[in-house]
Amino acid sequence: MAIPETKGRPIHALAQELASGGCTAVELVSTYLSRIDAEDGVIKAFLKLDRERVLRAAEESDRRRAAGKTLSVYDGIPIGIKDCIVAEGETCSCASKILEPVVSPYDSTAVARLRAQGFIPFGRLNMDEFAMGSSCENSAFQKTANPRDPQRVPGGSSGGSAACVAASFAAGALGSDTGGSIRQPAAFCGIVGLKPTYGRVSRSGLVAFASSLDQIGPMTHDVEDAGILLDAIAGHDPMDATSLPDPAGGFAEAARNAPESFRGVKIGLPKEYFAEGGLAAGVEKVVRESIEKAKSLGAELVEVSLPHTKYAVAVYYIIATAEASANLARFDGMRYGKRVDGKDLVDTYFKSRGEGFGDEVKRRILLGTYVLSSGYYDAYYLRAQKVRTLIRRDFEQAFKQCDVLLTPVTPTVAFKFGEKSDPLQMYLSDIFTIALNLSGNCGISLPAGLDAESGMPVGVQLLAPAMGEAKLLGAAQTLMR
């Protein structure tokens, strides 16, 4: 039996190996399973992995290939799935006790579209409960470790997905990004993470956290892979009323055909993102090196301003928690999920939710309920929606002066478990990622280098206007050359 090289190996290379007969899908999947057996005891990226099912899917893929009937060149390649993106016949707990018993009767659109190309949905990946968190420490079940240093967090909320890719437990993964939940863990683990334009990828079958912000996206070894997975999952879906009708595709090609240089490209540097004291020295050094690299590749650097940046965290934690408090009202222990019997109906609601949700989820439901409650709505929620308009306009103005923005992803490298116990401090660390969700534009986190002191990966972020993924991936590929 052939043992294909899978460590750090991108999807496009594995597709070639499968096409040339260098290995079979069963051999490929078995190689990942062996590594998971050896290493996931420490990393703890997977909540569940149905080995028989993925091996069966690999056998089916090999039969299709032998018959010359592959679904795409990617047929047989395993992709890990964050636990809030449902897959038929698999659990979808969102790393929460309240959904622990639930098995999804259907596929999310993103997973169905992966299957349609022959990709094998591969296990259920750990996350912060209901995607609320920046470290994966809020999972009700386990703490995922950063494969670069198991003493440190992988980031969150898509920490399981980032760890899965960084540890080469699958060829790529899907995550979801509401305030940076793809880009921040990608930066912490040294991989590529893409948040598409709001509406690019169907949210059907993504368990809702904050519906006006949530977006599914790829987490991969390289930029071309991010394009490959986006090609597979993007595009209009009648099952999601917020899905954009615009045609989607050609993203992998945009990465493959990226120009060698940045000649004629204007890269904006938002001055608020480089404010004095906002970045750890080691992170700033790596980000500055990326800027120098862009310049040496011919980019014209432009200083721009996003003047309402300092309000983004406040706006986000009002809007996201308000939407979450409404979305999570459906988990009442009646139709599905955990039920804890009380003395009557209302008491059953209280107990089911009280025992089913963890501390951070409770904190956010309470905050969201508060900002929507009578007497506070205008002061918080409506006001936040207005500032959201200002933040959106900031980006519109900035993109008149440049093609893409280049920014840090996180103020620091991955921190150690338990290091951030104050929720507000944890929220403030999202400062560089959340404005993009409020504005709805697209962005990508790229591994830019290592922090000299800790040896941990540092990410750099490129941001582009809505529907600008092709341009974004092209620029990302040029920068990564």
| Phi, psi (degrees; rounded to nearest 5) at 175 | -125, -175
Positions 37 through 96 that interact with another protein (CB under 8 A): none
Candidates 130, 81, 129, 132; CA nearest to 109 is 81
Q: Interaction with another protein in 149-208: which residues (CB under 8 A)?
A: 198-199
DSSP designation for 197? P
In the bound state with another protein, the residue whose beta carbon lies nearer, of 65 and 420, is 420
Residue 61 CB, shortest distance to another protein, in Å, is 25
For residue 216, the minimal CB distance to another protein (Å) is 15
Min dist CB 321 to another protein, Å, is: 9
Distance from C-alpha of 148 to C-alpha of 1, rounded to nearest angstrom: 30
Closest CA to 81 of 189, 188, 233, 240: 233
Region at 108 (left for phi over 0; alpha for psi -120 to 50; beta for the rest): beta
Q: Which is nearer to another protein, 36 or 206 (CB)?
A: 206
Run of H or E residues at 325: helix 312-327
Pairing between β-strand 78-82 and β-strand 120-125 as defined by DSSP bridges: parallel
Closest CB to another protein among residues 390, 450:
390
The residues annotated as belonging to the active site are 82, 157, 181
Smallest separation, CB 347 to another protein (Å) = 8
SS3 at position 78: strand
Q: Which of 362, 411, 417, 450 binds another protein (CB under 8 A)?
A: 362
Please enumerate in sequence order all residues whose Cβ is within 8 A of that of 143, keeping only pairs 6 or more positions apart, or say none.
44, 136, 137, 153, 417
With respect to another protein, which residue has the nearer C-beta, 171 or 182?
182
Q: How far is the CB of 428 from another protein (least distance, A)?
A: 8
Site string for another protein, 218-257 (x = CB under 8 A): --------------------x--xx-x-------------
Tell which one of 102, 173, 191, 460 touches another protein (CB under 8 A).
102
Q: Tell which positions 420-439 bind another protein, by CB under 8 A.
A: 422-424, 427, 437-439
C-alpha–C-alpha distance, residues 331 and 334, integer Å: 8
Figure out which of the listed residues 39, 363, 417, 419 binds another protein, where binding follows CB under 8 A.
363
- Which one of 35, 59, 71, 311 is in contact with another protein (CB under 8 A)? 311
List the x/- string, 443-472, binding to another protein by CB under 8 A.
Answer: -----------------------x------
Contacts with another protein in 331-350 (CB under 8 A)? 332-339, 341-342, 344-346, 348-350
Q: Is 411 in the site for another protein (CB under 8 A)?
A: no
CB closer to another protein out of 33 and 467:
467
User: Which one, 3 or 334, has the nearer CB to another protein?
Assistant: 334
Query: 270 or 465, CB closer to another protein?
Result: 465
SS3 301: strand
Q: How far apart are the first and last CA of the chain?
A: 35
> What sign has the CA pseudo-torsion 100, 106, 109, 115?
positive
Q: What is the CA radius of gyration of the chain?
A: 21
Assigned token pair, 450: 């290592």
Site for another protein in 113-142 (CB under 8 A): none
Query: From the list 103, 116, 275, 452, which residue makes contact with another protein (rule: CB under 8 A)?
Result: 103
Find where tokens 């900002």 sit: 371
Q: Which ranges of 380-465 does DSSP label H, i.e. alpha helix? A: 383-401, 423-428, 434-439
The residue (of 122 and 357) whose beta carbon lies closer to another protein is 357
> Binding residue for another protein (CB under 8 A) from 56, 314, 411, 419?
314
Using the minimum distance from each CB to another protein, give the nearer residue, 21 or 245. 245
Please, what is the minimum distance in Å from the beta carbon of residue 248 to another protein? 14
Q: How many helices (H) and strands (E) does the chain have?
A: 16, 11
- Give the count of beta carbons closer than 10 Å to the beta carbon of residue 446: 27
Q: From residue 373 to residue 392, what is the string marking binding to another protein with x (rule CB under 8 A)?
A: x-----xx-xxxxxxxxx-x
Residue 275, interface with another protein (CB under 8 A)?
no
Please report where in the chains the tokens 């898509």 appear, as a residue.
158
Size of the site for another protein (CB under 8 A): 73
Pick the binder of another protein from 5, 37, 292, 355 (CB under 8 A).
355
Helix or strand run (H / E) with residue 285: helix 281-296
State the burial class of residue 411 (Cβ atoms within 10 Å of its Cβ: 0-12, 13-18, 19+). Answer: middle
Q: Dihedral sign for Cα 37, 41, 45, 47, please.
A: positive
Segment interacting with another protein (CB under 8 A) among 122-130, 223-231, 324-332, 398-406: 324-332
Q: How many CB atoms lie within 10 A of CB 34?
A: 12
Closest CA to 186 of 214, 215, 220: 220
- Contacting residue, 111, 140, 371, 470, with another protein by CB under 8 A: 371
